[in-house]
Amino acid sequence: MENLLKVLKEFSKEDIEKLESFDRQYRALMKLYKKIKNPRLFLKLVVINALMSYQLQMKGEKYWKTFSEFFSENPEIERFEEFIKTNNKRFLNAKLKRLHKVIKCVEKLFSNYSLTDLGKDLTILVKELSKCLNQKIDSKTVVFAAKMFMYGYRIAFGRNPEKLEEIAIPIDSRLSKINSNKNFWKKLSEKSGIPQIRLDAVLWIPMGLEESSLKELPKELKLKLRRIIELVKKKNSSCNSLRK
DSSP 160: P
Given a contact cutoff of 8 angstroms between Cβ atoms, the answer to whether 92 and 84 are in contact is yes
What is the rounded distance in angstroms from the CA atom of residue 41 to the CA atom of residue 78? 12
What is the rounded distance in angstroms from the CA atom of residue 136 to the CA atom of residue 2? 30
Mind telling me the catalytic residues? 140, 172
Q: 41: Cβ–Cβ under 8 A, 6 or more apart, which residues?
A: 75, 77
Identify the burial level of 90 via C-beta atoms within 10 angstroms of its C-beta, where 0-12 means exposed, 13-18 middle and 19 or more buried: exposed
What is the rounded distance in angstroms from the CA atom of residue 160 to the CA atom of residue 81? 30
Angle, CA of 150, 155 and 159, to the nearest 5°: 65
Q: State phi, psi for 122 to the nearest 5 degrees.
A: -70, -20
Find the DSSP H helices in the chain: 2-8, 13-20, 24-36, 39-51, 60-73, 80-87, 92-112, 115-120, 123-133, 140-157, 173-176, 182-192, 196-208, 211-215, 219-243
What is the rounded distance in angstroms from the CA atom of residue 240 to the CA atom of residue 177? 9
